[in-house]
Amino acid sequence: MSQDEQPNDIANDATAKVSDMYEYGYRKSNYGPDELVTDAHGNPISVTDAMMSAHEAATTTTVTPHLCYYSPRIPGNTGSAIRLCAVTGTILHLIEPLGFNLRDTKLRRAGLDYHDMAHVVLHPDFDDLVQSMPSSRIIAFTAHASKNYTEVQYRPDDILLFGPEPGDIPDPMDIMGGPHVAEQVRLPMRPSLRSLNLTNCASIAIYEAWRQLGFKGGQ
C-alpha cells in the first residue's frame, strides 16, 4: 500500500469496481466471461478457481444433505441453486455434460461471488460423484416414485439427486433408478399439471431436510 492510499479508499475502490460490473442486480454484458465472480477484494477471478474439489466436498462436515443436479440444461436454474446452497450451507454437485458453460454470462445472478461458488463441485460424470462419496445415500427425486419426500429421515451426508430439466434429451432413468439409488421420492402435485421448476423442487427438499436436522447452523 502506498503512503497516499488508505484502507477505506481501497475498500471503496473495490466496491465501486463491483458496482460497475452490475446493473439492476445483473452482471453487465460488456464484462468478459471470466469476470463472473470476484474475490474478497472485488477482483474478477475464474469460476473454476472458486469451486470446491470432489475430495473437499466428501470430507467437509455439512449441516444439510448434498444437492446434485445431473446434467442441468438451464443456467438460471443452476444460478438459483448456487444461491440456495450458499444460504443453507449445502454443497451443490453438478454432473457433466451441462447444457451451458459455467463461464457463460447467462449464469447471471445478483451478487454472485466466490463465496457462493465455494459450495459447488463439478464432476465429469456420475461415477465420479459415486466414487467420491461411497458411503452416502443417494435419494432420487422423480415423478416415478411412490414415496413422498417427507417420508424420509434425512442425514447430512445424503445426496439429493435431481435429473435434468425436461427437454429433447430423455430423462436418465439409469441414473435416477440405478443400483446406486437408495430411495426414490416425489413431491406431491395436483394431477395433470406440469412439474415444478427444478430449483423450486430442490429448495423444498433442502429446507425439509434442514428442518428435520433442526436448522443447525442457521439463525
Mind listing the pLDDT tens digit for each residue in 1-44? 555 656 566 556 655 655 555 544 444 555 454 445 666 676 76
Mapping DSSP to helix (H, G, I), strand (E, B) and coil, where does residue 185 land?
Answer: strand
Return the DSSP state at 93: E
Asked if the structure places residue 136 within a domain, the reply is yes
Taking only the tens of pLDDT, the chain with its 219 residues reads 555 656 566 556 655 655 555 544 444 555 454 445 666 676 766 677 778 999 999 999 999 999 999 999 888 888 889 889 999 999 999 999 988 877 655 565 534 566 677 889 999 999 999 999 999 999 999 988 999 999 999 999 999 999 988 765 556 788 998 899 999 999 998 887 767 899 999 999 999 999 999 999 988
The 10 Å Cβ neighbour count of residue 166 is 11
Residue 42 lies in a domain: no
Give SS3 for 147: strand
Q: Any known ligand binding at 102?
A: no
Closest CA to 133 of 37, 60, 219: 60
Looking at residue 52, the DSSP 8-state letter turns out to be B
- From the CB of residue 13, how many other CB atoms can be counted at a distance below 10 Å? 12
> 126: how many CB neighbours lie within 10 A of its CB?
21
Q: What is the CATH number of the domain that holds 171?
A: 3.40.1280.10
- Going by their DSSP bridges, the two strands 37-38 and 120-123 should be labelled as unpaired
Place of cell 430439466: 165
The answer to whether residue 117 is domain-embedded is: yes
- Whether residue 138 contacts residue 161, with contact meaning beta carbons closer than 8 Å, is answered with yes
Distance in angstroms (rounded) separating the CA atoms of residues 94 and 79: 12
11 domain residue, yes or no: no
> Does 187 show up as a binding residue in the annotation?
yes
Inside any domain, residue 32: no
179 located within any domain: yes
What is the reported pLDDT for 17? 58
Q: What grid cell was written down for 110?
A: 445478483
**Tell me, what's the pLDDT at 116?**
77
Q: Print the domain residue range for 130.
A: 48-212
Please give the tally of structural domains in the chain: 1
The model carries a pTM of 0.79
Q: Is 163 annotated as a binding residue?
A: yes
